[in-house]
Amino acid sequence: MPIGAAFASFENVPIASASIAQVHGIRLHDGTDAIVKVLRPGIREVIDRDVALMHTLAGLVARVHPDGQRLRPREVVEEYDRTIHDELDLVREATNAVVIRNNFKDSELLHVPAIYWDYTRSTVMVQERISGIPIRDVAEMRRIGTDMKKLAEHGVEIFFTQVFHHNFFHADMHPGNIFVSRERPDHPQYIAIDFGIVGSLTEEDQRYIGENLLAFFQRDYHRVAQLHVDSGWVPRDTRVSELEAGIRAVCEPIFDKPLSQISFGNVLLQLFHVARRFEMEVQPQLVLLQKTLLNIEGLGRDLYPDLDLWTTGKPYLQRWVLQKSNPTTIARRLMAEMPAILKTLPEMPMLVHDFLALQNRVAREGLELLETDARNGRGGGTARAAGATNAAASAVGIGRLRWIVTGAALVVSAALLGAAHVIASPGDTPLAIWIAGGTGGLCLLRGLWP
């Protein structure tokens, strides 16, 4: 379609220009001012060639570099390959923008320009035209009386909200993509553009990251080290106390300091040394998050160098942990998993029966062997004695196992019934459910008690 037919007017001089696309101002036929983002012709072929070279170099590094296995260059390039090719699809970018816009609907913290879908294609995107102050123009923000401390704090809150509440975050937050609204200087609002690169975390990674950050804010370095081992980010045989000492040596000196007094370059360099010493592998799925963190740190340093990251971030993470542990949240998760649970539940009795039968048979055969040896006066050697001992121990453990299985069944049943009750009719949980759960807990204690 010719430009004149699609738009009422078109500005030939681009508003913004980058390696992949450029942006022009337009006016729609209904008089709405907007912008159109257009991919550069032939850019896909250029990127394909560049990424192919990166794959070749990554393979070379993986083979010849001493840290090739730990750094995982192939996986890092594969992650970049997916990210950059996603950025070439402007329909995907428009979808990302809509998701984040809906996540922050009616928010006073962040505004995301609307998408005009009738004009949007894989190589063309039309979006609401915004008017704001570029985030680098600190002088202009100060001139209109912007509360810089609040602006910096809002940036931290937006980041934590996207990562831990929405689990969908803008991963290209460089200064060219961030503006500040002029409307309320006393309660400043961000305006974000360019959603070609976004990130999300698996539930497991999100939990480990959140708990790591909270433990870090609480100076619980033992917990930080233990989480690294539990997550598999460092080898399982890592001595937690040594890793704890290494992390403490890097992090403790920067606590209680504002951004203006922290050299994150030096901190990162020291953390890299710790990572190398403990054979910590690079996590490619977290590269976008790490990149976003560095962007946030840079913005905070420019906007309000006296920002206390620890004081600002810690309360949000504490609320997030409490929310994740909230009974209603757990109940909703149980209800979401209910179809899978109900599918496997009918198989559980037979699985438990088969397991207990196997344990009974092993114990019975071992005891019979022990009695036969005793009647015949034979010792049977070390191996036979060990087998009999194991069988006897198994026999002793059968009773405890029955208690544990019974207790677990009661607790799970009570949890499922309680979750269903909370969702269906919020209020006091019936006494019978509490009794079933309590009985199950007592059975578990009976089985676990030595």
Residues 91/114, Cβ–Cβ less than 8 Å: no
**What's the pLDDT at 356?**
63
Q: Is 327 helix (H, G, I), strand (E, B) or coil?
A: helix
192 forms bridges with which residues in the sheet?
178
CA separation for the pair 79, 288 (Å, rounded)? 9
Highest mean pLDDT among 207-216, 340-349, 380-389: 207-216
- CA-nearest of 230, 221, 314 to 271 is 221
pLDDT (tens digit, 9 = 90+) per residue, 15-60?
988 889 999 999 999 999 999 999 999 999 999 999 999 999 999 9
Catalytic positions, written as ranges:
172
pLDDT (tens digit, 9 = 90+) per residue, 133-191?
999 999 999 999 999 999 998 998 898 899 888 999 998 888 889 999 999 999 999 99
% of the chain at pLDDT higher than 70: 73
Residues 149/304, Cβ–Cβ less than 8 Å: yes
This prediction has a pTM of 0.70
